[in-house]
Structure 1
Amino acid sequence: MMDRESHEVRWLGEPLILTATEFNVLWTLADRPSSVLDRSRILEAAYATDLGVTDRSIDSQIKRLRMKLRRIDPEFASIETLYGLGYRFTLPTEVRAAA
């Protein structure tokens, strides 16, 4: 569950504390589940006006997101890396069935 207005995120009912950039990266991925997004597209959505940021910053953001989500759900695997292409967010089967 993500609420853009209140900047709240919950995974499996547990609150997830994210920085503004982490939130934007996760929002960008989750907004298009199952779609492959390249780094430049995620970068544009997450950093909007910060021109000094490289697309490799996205890798760091993804790493931190995975770490935070795995603290709640050690089996978290919903952010996939597609080497040479980018990243994809997929919902676990149980979450998809409940939605």
Structure 2
Amino acid sequence: MIPSVLLVDDDVELVGLLADYLRQDGFRTSMAHDGESAVAAALSQQHDIVVLDVMMPRLTGIEVLRRLRAQSRIPVLMLTARGDDIDRVLGLELGADDYVPKPCSPRELAARLRAILRRLHPVAEEAGGPPALRVGAGVLWPARRSAEWAGQPLSLTGAEFNLLAELMRQAGRLVTKAELSERALGRPLARFDRSIDVHISAIRQKLASCQPGADPIRTVRGMGYQLTRD
């Protein structure tokens, strides 16, 4: 199945160039040049993933993401200004799956898109798919992309799901940020990259909403995270 990408940016020329490259690389592409039409297109269930620029007039990419996450879990890759940590962190906190700083190469963009889609639709290891992961109060079903904590359903973004899955697979041991970035986000950990920390913070909040007072994720400062078995 050919993946469908919605490209959202008010820079018409840039979007056209990216669309041409992605089509040659095996994607189907659609374009939107303003926030309102982007929201409508992203919610139409005709696309597999959204590439969303932060800096757009009137309705910004951050507001578009906010509206999408109120109704949909469609994966979103943010395009951010290079070095703009505020928009980057805010986007991740609102549920973006990943980001690419502008200007970006079409090749890098295509690679990031494929990495996200692979994480969201892993190949089943056997006919029944991989077995459920069970640690403490949590149950996670990799093939179904669903999870529960303390008997309550967890609504996780793609990145959050993969991070929690990796922590559950390695429960009881320290998992470094570099390992989490490679295995859960599908890319090497970049210097000063706070993506892992932001996603883990969001996971903690969601676990606490299911099991008040519980904090099963231990932070090892400067190294990584450990999910306790209790």
- The bucket for the TM-score relative to the shorter chain is 0.7 to 0.9
Identity %: 33
Specify the SS of the correspondent of 1:74: coil
Match of 1:10 in 2: 148
Amino acid at match of 1:17: S
Corresponding residue to 2:225 among 81, 87, 94:
87
Distance in 2 between residues matched to 1:71 and 1:31, nearest whole Å: 22
The question of whether the paired residues in 1 share the 8 Å contact of 2:181 and 2:189 is answered with no
Specify the SS of the correspondent of 1:10: strand
Instruction: Work out the number of aligned pairs and report it.
Output: 92
The question of whether the paired residues in 1 share the 8 Å contact of 2:140 and 2:146 is answered with yes
Match of 2:163 in 1: 25
Runs of 4 or more, structure 1, over 3 Å off, are 49-55
**TM-score, scaled to structure 2:** 0.37
Match of 1:97 in 2: none
When residues 50 and 87 of structure 1 are mapped into structure 2, their CA distance, relative to the original with a 3 A threshold, is closer
Deviation string 1:24-50 (CA, Å, 9 cap, x unpaired) is: 000011101111011010011111158
Deviation string 1:40-70 (CA, Å, 9 cap, x unpaired) is: 1001111115888964210000000001111
Corresponding residue to 2:179 among 31, 34, 41:
41
Deviates more, 1:40-49 or 1:6-15: 40-49
CA RMSD of aligned residues (A): 2.0
When residues 51 and 77 of structure 1 are mapped into structure 2, their CA distance, relative to the original with a 3 A threshold, is closer
Match of 1:95 in 2: none
Q: Which runs of 5+ in 2 are unaligned?
A: 1-138
Q: Which runs of 5+ in 1 are unaligned?
A: 93-99
**TM-score, scaled to structure 1:** 0.83
Q: Deviation of residue 91 (structure 1)?
A: 2.3
Corresponding residue to 1:73 among 199, 208, 211:
211
Rg larger in 1 or in 2?
2
